[in-house]
Structure 1
Amino acid sequence: MKIESLKFEGVSFTHEGNDPVIQNVEFDFPMNEIIWVKAEEGAGKSSLLQILAGLQIPQSGKYLINGENVTEMSFEEFLPYRMEIGYAFDFGGLINNRTLRDNLLLPLLYHKTVPQKEAVERVEELIKLFDIAKYANERPAHVPGRLRKLTCLMRSLVMHPQMLLLDDPSVGLGQDSIYTFVDCIHKLRKEGFAKHLFISSYDEKFMNLLDYQIIHLDEGQLFFQQVDPEKRVVHL
């Protein structure tokens, strides 16, 4: 299932008891781009990414993927799109009673997108690349926070998704891990994966390792923001 267009039609979303995160938004999202989602602290960047992932449902309006309204889809109807969306939100999402290796394998084995042998090879390649073999058989509670965060990021890549949603991906990582992760993104994009990449971050140094466009979330609305040509990508 190819993801060819993303669009908000009159979308509004709010957490109970709070001001609207998004208010009656009409917006066509750029495709085949790396998008830096910028906003003030608490303005709703994470919520926006969760809506794009199908993890939060707007109270009103339509979120359209390929012209199909996600808000009206059943779990089964959305699943083909879900399998093409990778996401990593902060330190959450890992299954506590599974090892880091098992957490990485789980999406591939559950959805059976590739043969088991290929799934194992793909995971072992990531474990070697990020140099976490020493901890791969440990459970999340038994490893440092940076390794939990890194495992979340690795798992977002393991399905080779078309769309990738990353919430503050560089926070808590060492510099070597950041460079390796950016290298992975560049490699996947060259291979035709991770084509639509949305990143929420305050880390300008990290973002300048990528060739990005900017969307700004302000007072419940989305705007394009011009990119300073002096701050274009620094290739590793």
Structure 2
Amino acid sequence: MTQETHTATPSTPAAAWQRLREGNARFVAGESLHPNQDASRRQALADRQNPFAVIFGCSDSRLAAEIIFDLGLGDAFVIRTAGQVIDDAVLGSLEYAVANLGTPLIMVLGHDSCGAVSAAHSVTGSGQMPRGFQRDLIERIMPSVLDTQRQGHQDVNSAVVEHTRQTASRLIEQSRVIADAVSNGDVAVVGVFYHLADGQAELVHGHGTWLPGR
């Protein structure tokens, strides 16, 4: 497939979401264009960046954001932690993208069979917490797992969807910078559930004056 270069950077939440949807559709169909990955793009970005999306996703090796959304250099500001768990560094990074880079879309990206959420799910049955800093991850994921179980859902993937939704909401609850940008209509926050087998990125949640079509 011939490489394509996207010259017009999306400047609104709707346009950014549309670009990501189109890229994921190409990836699912096996027709990725690998845009913005050539030498001229690299040179053009040497002194500046203007990403149109922040993708905050799980660290899972199968969840490479630039690949599954068919993106290139400078397109996405990517932050990853196991189980897309929020901490102060994550919030600061997100605020930087919104306040300093003017990025119009924040995506929280979870996926099926997530190891971190599975571990939290197992703890509810065994009561045995892992050692070390993994314990902190489990504690931050546990509210989503317990809420899902109270709703009558015992499977891990339901917990992943709930955790993705709650994480998207927490970004706005915990960051005044993000909350103000969403309130002003400059930024939207979406939660997306990625299906490992077929590569589909499914919208499961959204915050903002603009909400994307599914």
TM range (shorter): 0.3 to 0.5
In the superposition, the TM-score normalised over structure 1's length comes to 0.34
Return the structure number with greater strand share: 1
Greater helix fraction, Structure 1 or Structure 2? 2
So what's the TM-score if we normalise by structure 2? 0.36
